[in-house]
Amino acid sequence: MNNSHPAGHGPTRALTVADVLALPVLAAGQPQVVTGVPHLERPVGWVHITELTDPASFLKGGELVLTTGMPLPDDVAGVRRYVDELADVGAAALVIELVRRYHRPPDALVDACRLRGLPLVTLAKDVNFLEVTQVVHALLLGNQADVMRRTQRIHEVFTALTLRGAGPEDVVRAAAEMCGRTVVLENLVHQALICEPSGGTVEEALTGWEQRSRATGTDDHTATRGPVGWLTAPVEYQGERWGRVVMLPARADGPAFGPEDITVLERTAMALTVARLIHSTPWERTAHRNALRDLVDQRHRSAEDARARCAALGLPTDQNRFVATLVDLRTGSGGTEPGTRLFQELRTAGVSALVGELAPDRLGILLALRPSQPWRPIVERLCSTVLSLAPQAVVSVGSEITDLSDTARSFREAARVAEATPPGQPLPPDRSFHELSDLGLHRLLYALREDIRIQEYAEQQLGRLIDHDTQHGTDLLTTLRHYLEAAGNKTTAARRGGLSRETMYQRLRTIERLLDRDLESGEQRTELHAALMALDVLRAH
């Protein structure tokens, strides 16, 4: 007896008519499929040997019926009635042995089976039907035991996820890994918040997501829906439907959804319902945050994947301009979460954007703008909201981009602006945010203040002068500052320092001697001025 599974089939896949015909015990009879070739993937739930004229009364559906042909009626009407009863009860196939009564299948039987779409298989050689039943039933029982073990494992995995308070990303990822299919969590407006692709790309899974999702319709129970056959299950929150989790079908040549897939998806929906109660942050916000972080860190597999994911979140990605904005709270949010307020503000203004926390006390905002829509008024409106919540916050803006793949660059620019902005840095009178054009030498040195080379440079250029002031109680450093700020005009420098011209000349000669510098040299004055600005930044820090 051969109890092995047919080659290439997993232990939990339903045994089909084609599988049974391929078993050595049945293949020895040289089976020939006469009708119903398209239906050979029908699952076989049992094997039934019969020599009755009315076998259907003993069937429940899904049986592979074995017969020698002895009980078949002689008349056409009787043959049709025999086949109709098998088809009506849902028999998987009829296998007839051409050894005793028949040596070719009767035309009436062939016509009736073809008309009802019932697979008719003939055996040219004698086959031990009892052995066939033993082999197939052993396989079926083995599959059932394995299905029970795997179902138990599914329940254990999702129970463990729930007990440890797993978030929605962990739950969806577990579902995708368990069934080997792409799983997507969407909200009621058909925005794909989480996508775990399996055997494909994010682009393939999410391109045109909203349109495809709406085409599937909705239901309050787990079902296969829509023209492409999505398997969906509702996700609830506080007794109301909040969204749904979707399992996408495999490629055209892949297996159909089975009972195990349904179990996985239903347990996924249950675990997500519990996770929604545990994790108070709205999942739309979490999805925005994750999408932003992946854009900033360039973690997407491709630019197409990034566009598909953002579009599935409701961000327009075609023929749009984008602007990266950073909000550094610095002193906290004043008891209100600015991210939520900013998201609401943008929605009220009709502006599409991703809003999410990129780091503690740092919010990222990616604005998606129509071709003719100016971004400055929008950022000013955001600044007004931010500063009302956190007066010490700093808003920085990167350069405008036209391709979503350049998002990381725009955010890097905004980050450089933020890093170069000291607390209390004054703004131009016409705006409330900082941008790249604000970066001068002083702010560049501020951004580089942690670099030891800046510290060494300031000490190398000015250290001896500072030491002299410390040892002798002089203030030559201030004199040098007045001189450099006056662009080398000694008269202006003397007036600013409240000194006579003679005293100014004497101090400048002392400074030149201590520093071994020629203060008449424009290049050397520039070097000293840069060192003095670096010293101011370091002392302020």
pLDDT tier for residue 131 given thresholds of 50, 70 and 90: confident
Kindly state the average pLDDT of the residues 360-376: 89
pLDDT of residue 1: 33
pLDDT tier for residue 253 given thresholds of 50, 70 and 90: low
Q: Phi first, then psi: what are they for 343, rounded to 5°?
A: -60, -45
Q: Is the pLDDT of residue 333 over 70?
A: no
Q: Is the pLDDT of residue 11 over 50?
A: no
Q: Check residues 456 and 537 and name the one with the higher pLDDT.
A: 456
Q: Is the pLDDT of residue 453 over 70?
A: yes
Kindly state the average pLDDT of the residues 65-76: 87
Q: What is the mean pLDDT of the chain?
A: 84
Helix (H, G, I), strand (E, B) or coil at 16: strand
How distant, in Å, are the alpha carbons of 15, 42, 381 from that of 183?
26, 26, 38
Kindly state the average pLDDT of the residues 327-343: 70
pLDDT tier for residue 8 given thresholds of 50, 70 and 90: very low
CA distance 326 to 157: 39
Least confident of 8-17, 374-383, 427-436: 8-17
Do the Cβ atoms of 3 and 24 come closer than 8 Å?
no
Least confident of 214-218, 444-448, 467-471: 444-448
Kindly state the average pLDDT of the residues 211-234: 87
Kindly state the average pLDDT of the residues 49-78: 85
pLDDT of residue 110: 92
Which of 242, 255, 243, 263 shows the shortest CA–CA distance to 175? 263
What angle, 0 to 180 degrees and rounded to 10, lies between the N-to-C axes of helices 129-163 and 168-179? 170
- pLDDT per position as a tens digit, 160-184: 888 888 889 999 999 999 888 999 9
